[in-house]
Copies of this chain bind each other. A is one copy, B any other.
């Protein structure tokens, strides 16, 4: 699968570059895109030849199913450049496998690995000047699939576009983050699509998050829809709690995304002899731990920020602040994980993938 060169794909190089107009020191997350994109059409039951071509708008019929029925999935990945100008991906097979898991749940045809990796690598090589060296700099990659068949009948599309677009990003720091434990809104149902990176999971969070913003919180921590007693995910991240010196995080389920950063942190913590418990975490337990001082940290995990430390939380109007630590797991694990990503530390788990 890796560096497979037997698959044909078409490359059209952009005659110009936008790179000179980009201020790489002041990047808004996901707002700037590189010179090229990958696009591959599905029609008549088959994926066509992938194309790497100049980044630009796409044209769709107003009745295209993605607009009406959100038959759409995506992934988030990053490419890193080390001090020797080598380009690295982090566990890309996991992203590739997950987009197909998401696609299956959304009745979208799976995408072949022998198309994905060569086309992605060709795209990265063409846009390699956009991957800046330096700890924290990266090229955020957004593979996604959209249903493009015209027609408002409520049935799966027969046409799709699989695309990859790329956005240069800086180390992500969003200021202090306080979260609201949701006591009303929910992210996903049992038997629903919460485990998938389905587009609809994300748009549905905007309104509850805006209400939480108005109360002074930056994000919502989603609780189970039945009882709002168990903590599940933080905004678009998985969530970890440190109680005394043990890390606790919820198990994945059909409501909770199987985060690649999440499982990498669990493996890394184990490797450094940090006890990790993967089990349901109740709101009551966390509130009690905050009150008796055993709650040391909360942090979110995800591709964009790797780890987002959380300074405080609220539930049903009560607010709780977390202590400031000098031996934070968040800081420790983020540094360890990023050093692997940037080829600055041994990769004992085999997570790095070189783009050659």
Question: Interface residues, chain A, CB within 8 Å of chain B?
Answer: 28-31, 33, 37, 39, 55-63, 65-72, 74, 104-107, 140, 142, 144, 146-147, 150-156, 163, 165, 167, 182, 184-193, 198-207, 210, 225-226, 228, 235-236
Question: Taking the nearest CB of chain B, how far is it from the CB of A181, in angstroms?
Answer: 13
- Measured between beta carbons, the chain B residues less than 8 angstroms from A31 are 150-151, 153
A201, B200: Cα distance in complex, Å: 7
B192 touches A204 (CB 8 A): yes
B190 touches A186 (CB 8 A): yes
A188 touches B189 (CB 8 A): yes
A201, B207: Cα distance in complex, Å: 16
A199, B59: Cα distance in complex, Å: 20
- Measured between beta carbons, the chain B residues less than 8 angstroms from A29 are 152-153
Q: Which of A33, A154, A185, A203 has the most CB of B within 10 A?
A: A203
The secondary structure that dominates the A interface is loop
A190, B182: Cα distance in complex, Å: 12
B142 touches A152 (CB 8 A): yes
- Measured between beta carbons, the chain B residues less than 8 angstroms from A30 are 63, 151-153
A165 touches B62 (CB 8 A): yes
Q: A200: which of B107, B146, B203, B235 is its contact (CB, 8 Å)? A: B203
